[in-house]
Structure 1
Amino acid sequence: MTDQTRPLRVAIVGAGPAGIYAADALMKSDAEVSIDLFERMPAPFGLIRYGVAPDHPRIKGIITALHKVLDKDAVRLLGNIDYGTDINLEDLRRFYDAVIFSTGANADRALDIPGIDLDGSYGAADFVSWYDGHPDVPRTWPLEAEKVAVLGVGNVALDVARVLAKTGDELLPTEIPANVYEGLKSNKAVEVHVFGRRGPAQAKFTPLELRELDHSPNIEVIVDPEDIDYDEGSEAARRASKQVDMVANTLQDWAIRDQGNRPHKLFLHFFESPHEIVGEDGKVVGLRTERTELDGTGNVRGTGKFNDWDVQAVYRAVGYLSQNIPSIPFDDQAGTVPNEAGRVLDANGKHLSATYVTGWIKRGPVGLIGHTKGDANETIACLLEDAPNFDEPADPSPDAVIELLEGRGIPYTTWQGWYRLDAHERSLGEPEGRERVKVVEREDMLRASEPHKA
């Protein structure tokens, strides 16, 4: 049984929005808590730092709210620590009453079509990691293709298409590092084609993200009037959701307007299901799609008619996938940890004591960042309900885990270290009138953070 005379010690693995929202929910509860947030990267914020396009400062503004949580005394950030390598579940059990995993999703979901492994076929997640300056990916990206296909009709597909269609100079005022600017400056893409299997009413764009495509002086957004089609199921979806209706209206407006003369063309295609990536000498030389049609319910069926598209690169943006977490159950098919309202379940469907999940590792990579808050509240409610029955950890003192990390020679970063890195990145941007320039190399991030210092 947990000692009620001390704060409840909770370890959260993953310091992205999901983990920080969980910490916030814990601190807003009536319980006295002491929280350690473990993060694989030297810097916090996860998807906000490494998954959101650099020309989206509005979404990056969420960092301000997350900052306020990490500023609180009851939470401590321990960065540059890889769970499963530097520290394991057995270690965490020794120091904490409960463990929450909020490790998110950062890999690409597979798309099983012929040609997917050709040179020139890419996962959107890898490209996003590159343009967001993730330290664990290559510093260069091949941008030789003049005509590019993006498969998928969610916000990630829009981000990828927009970054490919913009000029390097358009993106220079953002926080992109020098290597990303150099890459985008030499990008040869002048045509970007986005493909959706279903119709405008089934697109997963958010209205604001979609409309932002049209704001660039260099991008002409083109929609074929023949792709504007709705069946009974589609009309019902429009009536049921203001967002769906707004997206459909925007696409309709673009379909009927006269085409302008902006230099880069971005085509949004609907009712085109990817059938095969066409290759020659191991390289992408085209995309074949099957034309689909609505079946009355909002779903589609194939028509047997195929279209060939002249493209030299294909990016699949068909969803993110979470990765297996050592020592806890994982459903490879769903890409999530089996759980009930955030309580991790073992192979027999029983709750794994004092072990929880929140965010995309809990429910899959769906919904917006804000939806993660409700997730966290549900998980924390379960944790607090279970707390009276937790086993007492062997050494719950906050110093014990620090002694372990230092004994293993792990250069961990702290919240104060983030303040130092943040100031350093801002100073790099200042001479150019930019808010910041993101530091890419892990060693440089560590140097600026001054690891180990509290």
Structure 2
Amino acid sequence: MRHIAIIGSGPAGYYTAEACQKQFGEDVRVDILDRMPVPYGLIRTGVAPDHQSIKAVARRYEAVALTDSVRFVGNVTIGKDISIPELQTLYDAVVLATGAPADKPLGVPGDDLPGVIGSAAFVGWYNGHPDHAALKPPLEGPGAVIVGAGNVALDVARILAKAEAEFEGSDIAGHALEHLRGGTHSRITILARRGPHQIAMTPKELGELGQLSRAAPLVDPADLPPVESDAPLEPGLRKAVKHLRDFAAQGAGGKPIEVVFDFYAMPLRVEGEGKAERVIVERTALDAGGQVVATGETYAIPAGLVVSCIGYRTPPIEGVPYDQKLGRFANTDGRIADGLYAVGWARRGPTGTIGTNRPDGYAIAELIAADGGDDSGKAGRSGLDVLLGARGVDIVTFRDWQKIEAAEIARARDGAPREKFTSIDEMLAALT
């Protein structure tokens, strides 16, 4: 019997568990450990609440979780309840699928002012993550600035710009919906250091921005390269740039909120008296090699809210080799050390889509198989239960999670699929 522990119950964790089932058949037992009493990681707290079709992939993970060979072990904190070396004594393989839940710092003067928020915190806030539920982002004043040129920046802009009725069918946290009602932003600026051809935004998300009832996306036609230069672009990017060209042609159309794409612009600093009040921006250009160069031209954008969407980092774990530069665990093709592996964003950094984690998980399962260890005689989950029981740790199983899920569905507001519990204590109370 092969005993495998996976740390993290997001897409990378469940795809790896699925792959291990296929790799080892009946001769495997997989425990998926998570700090939260609820599974699915960023599917639950990272995917935009109005993208329910994407969240539906959780049903695939549920099918894996309900098999006898895979067990969800929630409410267990690595480093507090159990260490990585202890897990290595119990399991033939330990796989770190912890994702990259920590924001990269904006890295400019004033980025520590109140009102400057990382996207992981902001997204966690409107998705009801317990770590960020108490956040109260400043939504008063004329403007907000979003730094970044990817889909997360679009998600943040869309959530800020939507009318309340447009959240019907979403599972946005109730506290966030209530707070958004008081928002007075009339201008949301998306800062991108490069131009339209260098965005990491996908056509679907850009198209959604053009369909909002009270907000209009604006693009300066002067920022768009000649239309014939779109031809060599890969199809998805070409379609995304077509949306930007349409935005430039349509204008504001009399809508009360403007979502302004400010290309060739990078933040120099955030200024304000005790809080964010403006972002000082420098105009950029691209040199012959496509690298960003500063022009020296600066201007100010009023902003009481600044959301940094420039990437994420994997938090280090004591005793596990870590690559500070790349913000992920140090590994070679997923192998950190004998019997210790990384998968998903913890392995490669925050790149790719949810589906990218599937081949990643299968590659790690093959690596575990190639490394051997099936005759080690390690205790696996029975040993874990003894150790955690002795330490008074109350684990949450997948059946327990289903009770929490049922309670969230039962308390949903009209038109919403669920109302999430936003504290671990609330989640655990639903089991009593």
- TM-score scaled by structure 1? 0.90
- Matched letter for residue 374 of structure 1: P
Deviates more, 1:220-229 or 1:306-315: 306-315
Counterpart in 2 of 1:26?
Answer: 20
CA shift at 1:9, angstroms? 0.5
CA shift at 1:334, angstroms? 1.0
Deviates more, 1:95-104 or 1:282-291: 282-291
Q: 3-state SS of the aligned residue for 2:232? A: helix
- Matched letter for residue 425 of structure 1: E
Query: Which of 65, 73, 79 is the aligned partner of 1:70?
Result: 65
1:138-217 equivalence runs, <5 A: 138-142=133-137, 143-171=139-167, 173-217=169-213
Counterpart in 1 of 2:125?
Answer: 130
* Root-mean-square deviation over aligned CA pairs: 1.9
1:311-322 equivalence runs, <5 A: 311-322=303-314
Counterpart in 1 of 2:420?
Answer: 438
Name segments (4+ residues, structure 1) moved above 4 Å.
none
1:259-408 equivalence runs, <5 A: 259-279=252-272, 281-344=273-336, 352-388=337-373, 392=376, 394-396=378-380, 398-408=381-391
Counterpart in 2 of 1:4?
Answer: none
Q: 1:260, 1:157 → 2: CA distance?
A: 23
- Matched letter for residue 114 of structure 2: D
CA contact (8 A) 2:210 2:247 kept: no
1:33-44 equivalence runs, <5 A: 33-44=28-39
1:52-71 equivalence runs, <5 A: 52-71=47-66
Q: 2:111, 2:375 → 1: CA distance?
A: 49
Q: 1:449, 1:177 → 2: CA distance?
A: 21
Q: 2:310, 2:282 → 1: CA distance?
A: 17
Counterpart in 1 of 2:77?
Answer: 82
Query: Which of 82, 88, 96 is the aligned partner of 1:93?
Result: 88
Deviates more, 1:409-418 or 1:399-408: 399-408
- TM-score scaled by structure 2? 0.94
Give the fraction of aligned pairs with identical amino acids, expressed as a percent.
36
Counterpart in 2 of 1:428?
Answer: 411
Q: 2:216, 2:91 → 1: CA distance?
A: 54
Q: Does residue 237 of structure 2 align to residue 244 of structure 1?
A: yes
CA shift at 1:213, angstroms? 1.0
- Matched letter for residue 265 of structure 2: E
Q: 2:393, 2:4 → 1: CA distance?
A: 21
CA contact (8 A) 2:3 2:378 kept: no
Deviations 1:313-367 (A, max 9, x none): 21111101110012211112211111111100xxxxxxx2111000111000111
Q: Does residue 2 of structure 2 align to residue 13 of structure 1?
A: no
Q: 3-state SS of the aligned residue for 1:217? A: coil
Unaligned regions of 5+ residues in structure 2, if any? none
Counterpart in 2 of 1:3?
Answer: none
Q: 1:391, 1:274 → 2: CA distance?
A: 56
Deviations 1:275-317 (A, max 9, x none): 22222x2222211211122323433322221222122221111
CA shift at 1:30, angstroms? 4.2
Counterpart in 1 of 2:401?
Answer: 418
Query: Which of 419, 429, 432 is the aligned partner of 1:447?
Result: 429
For these two proteins, the number of residue pairs brought into alignment is 430
CA shift at 1:120, angstroms? 1.7
CA contact (8 A) 1:167 1:184 kept: no
Unaligned regions of 5+ residues in structure 1, if any? 1-6, 345-351
